[in-house]
Amino acid sequence: MEERYFNDISYKQFLNEERLMGSRCKGCGTLCFPPRPICTNCYSTDMEWAELKGNGKLAGFSSIFVPPAFMAEEGFDRKHPYVVGVVELEEGVRAVGRIVGVDANRPETIKIGTPVKAEFIHFGEGDQMRTHLAFRPVEGGAS
Amino acid sequence: MGEKRKLGRGVCIVGAGMSRFDMYKDKDSKQLFAEAFKECIDSVDKGIDPKEIQAMWLGNFTNDFFIHQGHWGPIISDLLGLPPKPATRTEGACASSTLAVKDAAYAIASGMYDIVLAGGVEEMSKISTEAVSEGLALAGSPYEVYEGFTFPAVFGAIATAYFAKYGATWEDLNYVTVKSHENAKLNPKAQFNMTIKDIMNLRIEKYKKKGQPVPEWKDEYEALRDPRFNPVVAWPMRLFDCCPISDGAACVLLVAEEIAHMFTDHPIYIIGMGQGSGRALHDCPSLTSLEANKHAAKEAYEMAGLTPKDIQFAEVHDCFSIAELIHIEDLGFCKEGTAYRFVREGGTRLNGPMPINTSGGLKCKGHPVGATGAAQMVEVWHQLRGEAGPRQIPNGDLHIGASQNLGGTGGTCTFMIFSNEK
């Protein structure tokens, strides 16, 4: 896997493999998620892969009642909204993804700071596979 | 480095015009720009022969996607009879036409040209709402769009973070919305030139006609809390928190300061210009502030030698109600985390200490994205010349106004400061 470029194509391939991968600069140690081909701290291009655990806290969210076309194809509409959010990962970087296991129709019940864990939602197979990142509240996690 | 920023020579606005913003079945981009241009040249006090215009900059975000036609610089130049003079299109998503004005100002300041037209146009309403959303999402960050974020959802997420951090609530945003509609009622160019009470009355009449139960709303705030009147789009953003889909055009005529007197005795001076770029939402240093805004403000304040206290009124990019709060904090008009209280207390109303979006803002004036930045300047032009009619700011000593424009979800932010005095 170390042969892959540190870019969005590799990032999505890793999502297909259910791995959350960022890049760490070998020069200065800066962690980037998703990965970057060049370090914006020291401008080295000497990178190594860093796997993130996928544990974090919800930092912001929205429940979407008017979906874009590709989400409507999944069956989401005004009566079936879905939630997206920004998550602060324990490694100190943020991620965006869907928030599952919450009541999208009652977004007032969703709380900022809720502990969440990463999940992977797959569509299609083989070369056609694409994977979306999701986060689910941790059972029994303190909110 | 470190010295005061300034232009090589001064630049003034000597004419400004815009089409009415609305959803038009029978008007296209060329029609709308012709209307804006005609109003602009007619507004030049001592007149101008359009053949004297030496170059043009035109902001357009994505007519390529909306109506499958690109390369709008020469199309509009041709419309106005300006070929073979140069026409350049600028693209900064919803900030495209402020970039056009900035680049035109640089061209004059450099000494290359003396008389330049700058504006913007967008034609959005001839395709479905879903397709418009998809087109606008071209300006989003790839990561957010991929995971199903829409533009209202990005600002919804910002709102939830803002509420959690500062203790504000969605109800506070309604003071932005009510104010925008009150101002737009006084602006005949606005797509929604009516108050929320006007809309409530229209809705009640519709229910009566259809024999449906008629709601008894005590006031605007109660109507806005009613999901039948104000449904959720992307929590916590409801319909009335979001700007509409619009068609429209706007432009300004810029000239070198030394020749401004040939066109008018009341030019508007560009005294500050700033621009910043931003990151994807997950990489922003803060979810409740836009670093591109702060950088744009810093550049413009440095060039003008002014501070936020010196700005007497501003048009800001209220694509969503929460954005108005973020902007007025980022620009320094309010301390971070306090804008919602300032707005609730009436601070941004037409008769308040810091009028914001006297035009009705994007929410009510409309938001044909590529035209918005220039249209904000049209409003500042009217206010600084005392020609804003019933929505003229009641301040006999009005000298300094500003416009703030945002592209994408903060990828491009601009801040422009104008004065009616040298």
Give me the DSSP letters along chain A.
-TTS-SSHHHHHHHHHTT-EEEEEETTT--EESS--SS-TTT----EEEEEE--EEEEEEEEEESS--HHHHTTT-BTTB-EEEEEEEETTS-EEEEEE-SS-TT-GGG--TT-EEEEEEEEES-GGG-EEEEEEEEPTT---
Q: Which of A52, A68, A88 is the last residue of a domain?
A: A52
User: Can you give the pLDDT at residue B4?
Assistant: 72
Report whether B175 contacts B344 (CB < 8 A): yes
pLDDT > 80? residue A75: yes
Residue B131: predicted pLDDT = 87
Task: Indicate whether A16 pLDDT > 50.
Answer: yes
Is residue B312 left, alpha or beta, with left meaning phi > 0 and alpha meaning psi from -120 to 50?
A: alpha
Set of chain A residues whose Cβ sits within 8 Å of the Cβ of B281:
86, 96
Say yes or no: A64 and A39 in one domain.
no
B121 with B28: CB under 8 angstroms?
Answer: no
- Å from B145 to nearest chain A CA? 9
Q: Are strands B55-59 and B87-90 parallel, antiparallel or unpaired?
A: parallel
B chain contacts of residue A98, beta-carbon cutoff 8 Å: 147-148
Mean pLDDT of B202-221: 95
Are residues A61 and A48 part of one domain? no
Name the active-site residue from B40, B94, B242, B364.
Answer: B94
Query: What local confidence, expressed as pLDDT, does residue A2 receive?
Result: 58
- Looking at the fold, whether A62 and A43 belong to one and the same domain comes out as no
Is the same domain home to A44 and A97? Answer: no
From B134, which residue of chain A is nearest by alpha-carbon distance? A68
Question: Any CB–CB contact under 8 A between B140 and chain A?
Answer: no
Per cent of chain B over pLDDT 70 is 99
B378-395 average pLDDT score: 98
- Are B283 and A94 within 8 A, CB to CB? yes
With cut-offs at 50, 70 and 90, classify the pLDDT of residue B365: very high
B97: three-class secondary structure by DSSP:
helix
Mean pLDDT check: name the lowest of A62-76, B105-119, B316-330.
A62-76
Whether residue A62 lies inside any domain: the answer is yes
B71 in active site: no
- Determine, yes or no, domain membership for A19: yes
CB contact under 8 A, B237 and A62: yes
Same domain, A62 and A95: yes
Region class of B228: left (phi > 0), else alpha (psi between -120 and 50), else beta: alpha
Best of A31, A86, A111, A112 to substitute, by most chain B Cβ atoms within 10 angstroms, is A86
pLDDT in tens, B116-155: 999 999 999 999 888 888 888 888 888 999 999 999 999 9
Contact residues for B388 (Cβ-Cβ < 8 A; gap 6+): B358, B379, B382
Indicate if A28 and A59 belong to the same structural domain. no
Domain membership of residue A143 (yes or no) is no
Q: Is B7 on the interface with A (CB under 8 A)?
A: no
Is B94 one of the annotated active-site residues of the chain?
A: yes
What is the per-residue pLDDT for B3? 60
Can you say whether the dihedral through the CA atoms of A104, A105, A107, A113 is positive or negative?
Answer: negative
A28 in any annotated domain: yes
Predicted confidence at residue A143, as pLDDT, reads 44
Does residue A101 fall inside a structural domain? yes
Please name which of B171, B197, B168, B195 lies closest in space to residue B184, comparing C-alpha atoms: B195
The DSSP letter of residue B52 is G
Task: Tell me: do A71 and A26 sit in the same domain.
Answer: no
B143 touches chain A (CB under 8 A): yes
Residue A34 lies in a domain: yes
Domain that holds residue A72: 55-137
Q: What is the average per-residue pLDDT within B13-24? A: 98
Q: Average pLDDT for residues B106-111, to the nearest whole number?
A: 98
Same domain (yes/no): A13, A72: no
| Interchain pair B161, A78: CB under 8 A | no
pLDDT at B16 over 90: yes
Is B138 near chain A, with CB under 8 Å? no
Is the domain of A76 the same as that of A94? yes
- Count of domains for chain A: 2
Tell me whether residue A18 is in a domain.
yes
Q: Which pLDDT score, from 0 to 100, does residue B2 have?
A: 52
Banded pLDDT at A53 (limits 50, 70, 90): very high
Establish if B173 touches chain A: CB-CB under 8 angstroms: no
A24/A42 same-domain check: yes
User: Taking CB atoms and an 8 Å limit, are A98 and B147 in contact across chains?
Assistant: yes
Nearest CB to B157 within list A60, A67, A68: A60
List chain B residues with CB under 8 Å of A84.
144, 147-149, 153, 157
Clarify whether residues A81 and A120 are in a common domain: yes
| Mean of pLDDT values over B313-321 | 98
Let me know whether A88 and A23 are in one domain.
no
pLDDT value of position B416: 98
Of B164, B234, B281, which is closest to A96 when you measure between CB atoms? B281
Is A14 domain-assigned?
yes
A100 near B CB under 8 A: no
B150 contacts in chain A (CB < 8 Å): 64, 66-68
- On the question of pLDDT at A26 being above 70, the answer is yes
Residues of chain B found within 8 Å of residue A113, distances taken between Cβ atoms: 164
Say whether A84 and B157 touch across the interface (CB within 8 A).
yes
Q: What is the mean pLDDT of residues B332-361?
A: 98
Q: Quick one: average pLDDT of B93-98?
A: 98
Please, what is the average pLDDT of chain A?
Answer: 95
pLDDT at B1 over 60: no
Decide which of A16, A34, A52 is a domain's last residue: A52
